[in-house]
Structure 1
């Protein structure tokens, strides 16, 4: 079963997702966000909170190459989250100043590859932020990011069997 878990920032998505794996013996936790590095104390604290909740037997892989990591993973796969993956992809591709068309073209193959890798997994749960539930971006790059994340979410949801929406710690199965 493949499940996408979406919702607003700090809505309880990660906690819900981790609870879906209570009985799983082998978990590969794929973290595409930047690792804690001492440069941003708030980010480092957030990463530490996430790490402290995970059982010691879970294997954590910190990488933005989600497609490759998903294919190579053992057991069930948990990806947390697509927003940080898209941020890393836009950073490495230097897409923040690109036109919308250039950014979509650059991301299209990466999105395809991720969707194919997920479709081949018997058990995978993917966390993402739902767009449109937060602040409206005031800059062109923010609008482009929001729109790209909406596209990523739709494409990944299409290869999932279920989508869970988390609002204020409550879960709705869509």
Structure 2
């Protein structure tokens, strides 16, 4: 089963994604964001909180190459989250100031690779941020992030059997 779990910040989406794989014997947890490195205490605390919730037998892979991690995983896979993956890809490519066409070209190849890997996976849960429901970003980087993540979410949802929307800890299956 392939499930996309989406919701706002602190909605409970990560916890829900983890619970969906609670009974799985073997789980690869793919963390595509920046690892905790001491440079940002708030980020480090968030990473530590996520690590503390994972069962000890889950294998963690911290990488920006989510497609490869999904292809190489044995057993169930949890990717948490596509928003941190998108940020890492844009950072890696220095794309925050690039024109929309350039960003779309880079992201199209990455999204295609990700969707191909997800299509080949048996049991995978992908967590992402839901964007576009609130305030319109006032900075170009915020608009870029919102627009590209919206595209990522739509394409990943298309290869999943279910999409779960988490709001205030409550889950709606779409």
Residue aligning to 1:52: 52
What CA deviation, in whole Å up to 9, does each residue of 1:81-115 have, x standing for no partner? 00000000001111101001110011111100000
Q: What is the aligned partner in structure 1 of residue 4 from structure 2?
A: 4
CA-to-aligned-CA distance 1:22-76 (integer Å, 9 cap, x gap) = 1100000000010111111111010000000000000000000001111001100
1:151 aligns with 2:156: no
Note if 1:43 corresponds to 2:40.
Answer: no
4+ residue stretches of structure 1 with deviation over 3 A? none
Counterpart Cα distance in 2 of 1:78 and 1:133:
25
Offset at residue 80 of structure 1 (A): 0.0
> Any stretches of 5+ residues in structure 1 without a counterpart?
none
Q: What is the match of residue 101 of structure 1?
A: 101
CA distance in 1, matches of 2:53, 2:140: 36
Matched, 1:30 2:30: yes
Which runs of 5 or more structure 2 residues have no equivalent in the other structure?
A: none
Task: Note the C-alpha offset of 1:133.
Answer: 3.0
Number of residues of Structure 1 aligned to a counterpart in Structure 2: 174
Output one character per residue of 1:125-167: Cα deviation in whole Å (capped at 9) or x when no partner. Answer: 0000001134421111210111000000000000000000000
Is the 1:131–1:149 Cα contact (8 Å) retained in structure 2? Answer: yes
What SS class does the counterpart of residue 60 from structure 2 fall into?
strand
SS in 2 for 1:77: strand
- Secondary structure of 1:156's counterpart equals helix
User: In structure 2, what is the equivalent of residue 126 of structure 1?
Assistant: 126
Determine helix, strand or coil for the equivalent of 2:56: coil
Question: How large is the RMSD of aligned CA atoms in angstroms?
Answer: 0.7
